[in-house]
Amino acid sequence: MQRREFLKTAGAFMASAVLPMDLGANTIPPIIKPNIIFIMADDLGYGDLGCYGQKKIKTPNIDRIAKEGMRFTQAYAGSSVCAPSRCSLMTGMHNGHNRLRDNLPNGVWLRPDDFTIAELLKQAGYRTGGIGKWSLGIPSSWGVPNYQGFDYYYGQLNQNQAHFYYPDYVWENDKVVLLQKLVIENEVGKIMGNRGGKNVFYTHDLYTEKALNFIEKNREHPFFLYLAYTIPHFSDYPVESDDHFQVPSDEPYSGKEWPQSAKNYAAMITRMDKDVGKLMRLLKKQGIDSNTLVIFTSDNGSYQGSPIPIDFFDSNGVYRGGKRDLYEGGIRVPFVARWPGNIQADMVSDQMIAFWDVMPTLAELAGLNPPKDVDGVSFLPTLKGEKQQQPRYLFWDYGHVRKTYKRALRMEDYKGVSITDKDFELYNLKDDPGETENIADKHPDIVRKINAYMIEARGDSEDYPIRETQK
């Protein structure tokens, strides 16, 4: 039996006892286990927060997390789109080894032998809750959160349905919760169905309510809360005309002479920020603030299909591209962490980290070692203010089921980008963070080394076979 299958099977038996699993020689001595809250926004750009230079959108509560903790300047998502990025986060694998390697899964979801952060933390006695957008499994698949280590789940399993802020339903564990408010039309009392009825519940507000409830219910036990908000995900649909993409209020930006979509975008982010403030206040009220690690980040870069937000809000700052790109604007994300007494206040770190590093980091916090085959490395030393070696390389790819296949690899200050049918591109991010000057011709030795690492990083997958154009 493979290690991942063994851990999953053992975890299923241990879940009811809520006791740490004995991993023998691999066990780290017991420690006081902190609560862990991992908050992830959807398509939030690197520059959309005040602590990362945003001037128009108000985010005082998230900025306070950064001020009271650590802000990372070289943090990366697992991918430039949501499903593989979230898979990377959950499994500790980069996109060369992920189960889900694209945003068009074609029936590919997490399987029984995939091992997640939630399953790992259950081994250490954590209560685990997932709230919000999932994207890694649909009903009847092995990929649903309750089969992947979560004691409790509330949210939208299907990433496409998660595009709607006023959906007809959400899932709570294995049950459908209908949200739609049916209205009666005209004198015959016709009850309007899905096309006519209007749900009055804004999913983001529901997610916050459930998150607060989860914290209150589990305050006396170590808990892991994965809160995956759907804000501020933008869509190809026109936000001014489609009710599904509206916000309950465009305050505090109603009086601004901005395009309505800009008001909506800013209002979504500020609404999310206010709810992050609610969570932080509850931690203090419950007396668990000092023993809780809070992380806030985004699943990938900001949406490029509209001049809002990239142009209007300068969501990417100096970085090129956005969502679906492997340039920095698509994968470099805001990442702040707060843990009083353990993370020194007002710290800024240039340590290179990526989503696949989260699993080994949380494993070390919980007193366990992660599976040996993960790609990530714990950045707990960095959180505690210790000097840490930079990773050998970071790797991403995207477009397995599309015509354009992209790969990117960062090695020290150098970033290689390979796009189907285009020349290899090389950038020095220290001198050229905006990736404006391709220096591949000047450094053939570095190009060869990065190409070799790209080949090394990409493992075979029966779900994502390598086509001739991708070799």
Structure tokens at 40: 């992830």
Taking only the tens place, the pLDDT of each residue in 44-87 is 999 999 999 999 999 999 999 999 999 999 999 999 999 999 99
Count structural domains, the chain.
2
- 223 and 90 fall within a common domain: yes
Distances from the Cα of 256 to the Cα of 113, 202, 237, angstroms: 51, 23, 23
* Segment 440-463 mean pLDDT: 96
The number of helix segments (H) and strand segments (E) in the chain equals: 11, 18
Structure tokens at 39: 């908050």
- 251 and 309 fall within a common domain: yes
- 91 and 64 fall within a common domain: yes
CATH number at residue 464: 3.30.1120.10
- 67 and 213 fall within a common domain: yes
What's residue 182's pLDDT? 53
CA pair distance 24, 313, nearest whole angstrom: 52
Taking only the tens place, the pLDDT of each residue in 278-290 is 999 999 999 999 9
Is residue 425 a part of any domain in this protein?
Answer: yes
- 411 and 379 fall within a common domain: no
What's residue 25's pLDDT? 39
Mean pLDDT of the chain: 87
List own/partner pairs for 441-448 with CB under 8 A and 24 or more apart. 443/414, 446/411, 446/414, 446/416, 447/416
Q: What angle do CA 87, 91, 96 make, to 5 degrees?
A: 70
Location of structure tokens 């950064």:
66
* Segment 30-36 mean pLDDT: 80
- 209 and 261 fall within a common domain: yes
- 41 and 109 fall within a common domain: yes
Last residue of a domain, one of 393, 419, 446: 393
CATH number at residue 305: 3.40.720.10
Taking only the tens place, the pLDDT of each residue in 394-443 is 999 998 777 789 999 999 999 999 998 788 999 999 999 999 999 999 99
- 49 and 144 fall within a common domain: yes
CA pair distance 456, 467, nearest whole angstrom: 17
Q: Enter the pTM of the model.
A: 0.90
Place 23 in a pLDDT band, splitting at 50, 70 and 90: very low
**pLDDT score of 241 more than 80:** no
Is residue 183 a part of any domain in this protein?
Answer: no
- CA torsion, points 310, 312, 317, 318, in degrees to nearest 10? 80
- The backbone torsions φ and ψ at residue 202, rounded to the nearest 5 degrees and listed phi first, read -85, 120
Is residue 190 a part of any domain in this protein?
Answer: no
DSSP 8-state secondary structure symbol assigned to residue 38: E
**pLDDT score of 470 more than 70:** no
Place 183 in a pLDDT band, splitting at 50, 70 and 90: very low
Last residue of a domain, one of 393, 418, 443: 393
DSSP 8-state secondary structure symbol assigned to residue 324: T
Is residue 177 a part of any domain in this protein?
Answer: no
For residue 165, is it left (φ>0), alpha (ψ between -120 and 50) or beta? alpha
- The backbone torsions φ and ψ at residue 470, rounded to the nearest 5 degrees and listed phi first, read -100, -5
Q: Which residue has the higher pLDDT, 106 or 413?
A: 413
Taking the CA of residue 286 as centre, how many other CA atoms within 13 Å lie in the half-sphere pointing to its CB?
21
- 369 and 410 fall within a common domain: no
Location of structure tokens 């995956």:
228
Give residue 265's domain range: 3-166+202-393
**pLDDT score of 16 more than 60:** no
Is residue 400 a part of any domain in this protein?
Answer: no
What's residue 375's pLDDT? 97
- 410 and 322 fall within a common domain: no
- 412 and 379 fall within a common domain: no
Last residue of a domain, one of 393, 428, 446: 393
Question: Sign (positive/negative) of CA torsion 465, 426, 394, 231?
Answer: negative
Amino acid letter for position 125: G
- 378 and 420 fall within a common domain: no
Place 159 in a pLDDT band, splitting at 50, 70 and 90: confident
Give rounded-to-5 percent helix, strand, coil for the chain.
Answer: 30, 15, 55
Is residue 258 a part of any domain in this protein?
Answer: yes
**pLDDT score of 297 more than 50:** yes
Is residue 436 a part of any domain in this protein?
Answer: yes
What's residue 313's pLDDT? 95
